[in-house]
Amino acid sequence: MSRADAGPPDAFETALRLLTLRAHSEAELRRKLARRGCPPDEIERALVRARGLGGLDDGAFARSLAAQRARTRGPALIARELAAKGVERAVAREALDGLPREAVVAAARRLAARGAESGAGRRVVAARLLRRGFPGDVIREALGRDVEVE
């Protein structure tokens, strides 16, 4: 029997396979299952089952992604990524609020040091940090209070 004759894939099995590769938000997993041709009612049942087993938790997903990305990105950029993955704004905000300010400032300092090593001026480094999603107060703290952040 060919793949085309087999019918749509089993939504729960597909969800488990995807979740073993990496964590997903519920919306992201729903989109992937739909793209693979799983019927909508099966998708909902698969999501309920995965949630019940603890394999699908948007809060845990958001906290994990935020902690991982915080090494190289600021909160604004992380928030955009979480939104793109379908995480609700309140859940994303809670995950970002859980990031220690010291860790955010330390990440900004590391990136600023790399920029300084490459010979970039303070304004250029500040602009890079701003594009990376760091807020102005963190950039000023990372570079010193006398830098202007636009």
pLDDT by residue for the chain (150 residues), tens digit each? 445 556 678 999 999 999 999 999 999 999 999 999 999 999 999 999 999 999 999 999 999 999 999 999 999 999 999 999 999 999 999 999 999 999 999 999 999 998 888 888 889 999 999 999 999 999 999 998 655 555
In angstroms, rounded to a whole number, what is the distance separating the alpha carbons of residues 130 and 123? 10
Closest listed residue to residue 128, CA positions, set 117, 64, 30, 16: 117
Enter the pTM of the model. 0.84
Question: Which pair of tokens denotes residue 136?
Answer: 């102005």
The three-state (H, E, C) secondary structure of 75-98, written as one string: HHHHHHHHHHCCCCHHHHHHHHHC
Distance of CA 61 to the CA centre of its chain: 8
Residue with tokens 């807020």: 135
Distances (CA, A) of 51 to 44, 109, 124, 138: 10, 38, 45, 36
